Chain A
Amino acid sequence: MTRKSTIMALGALLGLYAASQASAATDQVVIGDIDDMSGVYADVLGQAGIDVINMAISDFGGTVLGKKITVLSVDHQNKPDIGASKFREWADQNGLTMVLGGSNTGVSIAMSKVAAAKKIPFIAVGAGGASLTGVDCTPYTVHYAYDTTALGNGTASAIVKQGGKTWFFVTADYAFGTQLQEAATHVVLANGGKVLGAVRAPLGTTDYSSFLLQAQTSGAQVLGLANAGTDFSNSLKAANEFGIAKTMKPAALLAFLTDIHALTLNTAQGLYLTTGWYWDLNEQTRAFGKRFFAKVKRMPTMDQAAYYSATLQYLNAVKAVGSTDSDKVMAQMKKTKINDMFTQGGFIRADGLMVHTMYVMQVKAPKESKYPWDYYKVVKAMTGEEADGTQPDATCPMIKK
């Protein structure tokens, strides 16, 4: 290349830099679903999550403000990069108006950064990490079904109060596991218990033997399982296989109905767990459970119920404000009480957390179970404030000021 042409090329480049600008947004209703469809959390929401969104849309009438409602979905494979880049791409290219976040806190944190940058409402359902409405909060994030704080206040406190004072954690090695362990530790210490140690196991570990051996060596009374999905069922199974479930009391810090179903009541009986929803609570939940069962041949998990509820809440807000404008919709959602099959009197706090009743459950023994999917008995119903405190999370930058 000659010097002249080099200069010309550079000039052209500079011109193009100047000419570059952002493209305009389109006006339609597009709901995105970013979830683990094939990995350890695939049963918690997964394909059935898409079914549930479509159920909500058709219950709503199929259109809002005269516009067709479309659903986009992707399998994030538990990789934050896939979740974040799909979200960004849909926002830039497909006129996305709201996104539902499936399982995996790591992915949801990545998505919340995009939500803030692109100003698109992001309803996190499957993720547990309390940081979504804490240090990672955004004006566009709603944390809907449950969070790690509530899980700690439910399960951990029930177990400590029954005498399980010394704990050892087996923790899923990513944002969710560490936050869950933190929340549980906080509760254990506050109730006079002690934490003797913790070990981090990678997400999707299939052989827990060496981690459990470490737990056993610690001599703790309680084996805190700060994991979820098949990680939870695998670690509990291994604890039984290595005879550790006999010397330590396993604590399921997060277990879903599908996990208990997979483990069977024989293995899981007596476990305490905390959930935001159960199909057999009242007439409304049972009705939803039966509709879901007719379609998917399983009973819904709390996350699947929350997906349905959140989709309807969003569509109602769009209808009420007459636009998909993110700020207007968010304002509307934050001032509306949630009264539906998912919860009664739920509300979205300033930090984005949907505060609602949480239930501490105990898994029934096989002989107590009267009909299929009759797995839990309610130990205690915690009010939203008991579960998540009375004040918004002070670590959320929106709250501080």
Chain B
Amino acid sequence: MTTVFGVPLPAILGQLMLGLVNGSFYALLSLGLAVIFGLLGVVNFAHGAFYMLGAFAAYVGLESLGINYWWALLLAPLAVGLFGILIERLLLRHLYQVDPVYGLLLTFGIALIAEGVMRSQFGASGKSYPVPPLLQGGLNLGFMVLPVYRAWVIVASIAVCAVTWFLIERTRLGARLRAATENAKLVQAFGINVPVLVMCTYGAGVALAALAGVLAAPVVQVSPLMGSSLVIVVFAVVVIGGMGSIIGAIVSGLVLGLIEGLTKVIYPEASNVVVFVIMAIVLIWRPAGLFGKEQ
């Protein structure tokens, strides 16, 4: 058997594949986080909670309303996105004039509330969400059996990332968004309704998190705490990519997923911390992140 670093090649390829699945989730989540940070200057600690709410929306939809997976992919992000808009209107809006640290604290509080409500309703252990019939079964890749569903996660999330990138970087709407990020007052003077733009951006970022949640439901089960540890990893991903950088979030999400997978073969003990260690190194070497602009 071929070996690399004394590890059989199939093992490495297998873990890389799983790393790519995780990286897909990182990319989707850090993308939403970066979009929100770019325009609002808010570090959305509730991002993990919205991801969790997306998964629960899919679960409750299936259990009590009979909404299937494919409709959930559309409806859950919509519902959670609207909820996000509500939060932006009612709460977050009041903090744009003060230190951005308060935005972080507010969203931290929101995350606690969301997790607590779900925990008291559904208990702390996971609820399983079935893989949709169309995506059941496995693909034999030679070095491993990859469940079809996980392959779908990779494809779907890369597609969503690409579309989002295109919307922001290549369309008129995106141009306005980027302009508002640079100078909100000026853009407002040009007759663009910035508060509405901000509101919709927050809603969209939240919807991306919820979409990741629906995608994750059949993989990791639906549980109230599924987002709370993930969100910290995603923070690190965003810092590494460069806060607010769209392409940085996507690329570093995927790459860090792969690196994490690789660590699982070479030195499994470090797989939980490798992202944070990389973050520390990046910050020392390039404080603005890999794709960020120096202020």
Category for how many chain B residues contact A:
20 to 34
29 contacts between A and B (CB under 8 A): A38-B124, A38-B125, A39-B123, A39-B124, A40-B125, A42-B123, A42-B124, A199-B268, A204-B124, A204-B125, A206-B126, A206-B223, A207-B219, A207-B220, A209-B18, A209-B150, A210-B264, A213-B11, A213-B15, A214-B11, A214-B264, A214-B268, A229-B125, A230-B125, A234-B126, A242-B144, A242-B145, A243-B138, A243-B145
Q: In the complex, what residues of A have CB within 8 A of residue B128's CB?
A: 237
Q: How far is the CA of A234 from the CA of B220 in the complex (A)?
A: 9
Q: How far is the CA of A206 from the CA of B125 in the complex (A)?
A: 9
Given A38-B119, A199-B268, A204-B124, 5 extra CB contacts under 8 A: A42-B124, A77-B124, A213-B144, A230-B126, A242-B145
Q: Which of A205-226 contact B (CB under 8 A)?
A: 206-207, 209-210, 213-214, 216-217
* Residue B221 is within 8 A (CB to CB) of chain A in the complex: yes
How would residues 31 to 75 of chain A score, 1 for a CB under 8 Å from any chain B CB and 0 otherwise? Answer: 000000011101000000000000000000000000000000000
Q: How far is the CA of A42 from the CA of B123 in the complex (A)?
A: 9
Category for how many chain A residues contact B:
20 to 34
Q: In the complex, what residues of B have CB within 8 A of residue A204's CB?
A: 124-125
Pick the contact of A210: B15, B124, B145 (CB < 8 A). B15
Quick check: B14 and A217 within 8 Å, CB to CB?
yes
With A206-B223, A213-B144 in contact, is A241–B124 under 8 Å at CB? no
With A39-B124, A234-B221, A242-B145 in contact, is A213–B18 under 8 Å at CB? yes
Least distance between B26 CB and chain A CB atoms (Å): 14
Quick one: closest B residue to A77, CB to CB? B124
Quick check: B14 and A213 within 8 Å, CB to CB?
yes
Quick one: closest A residue to B149, CB to CB? A241
Q: In the complex, what residues of A have CB within 8 A of residue B11's CB?
A: 213-214, 217
* Residue B214 is within 8 A (CB to CB) of chain A in the complex: no
* Residue B147 is within 8 A (CB to CB) of chain A in the complex: yes
Q: How far is the CA of A40 from the CA of B128 in the complex (A)?
A: 13
With A38-B125, A39-B125, A210-B18 in contact, is A242–B138 under 8 Å at CB? yes
With A199-B268, A213-B14, A241-B138 in contact, is A206–B145 under 8 Å at CB? no
**4 closest Cβ pairs, A-B complex:** A243-B145, A217-B11, A206-B221, A38-B123
Q: How far is the CA of A42 from the CA of B127 in the complex (A)?
A: 13
Least distance between A76 CB and chain B CB atoms (Å): 11
Q: In the complex, what residues of A have CB within 8 A of residue B261's CB?
A: 210
Q: Which of B1-47 contact A (CB under 8 A)?
A: 8, 10-11, 14-15, 18, 21
Quick check: A206 and B10 within 8 Å, CB to CB?
no
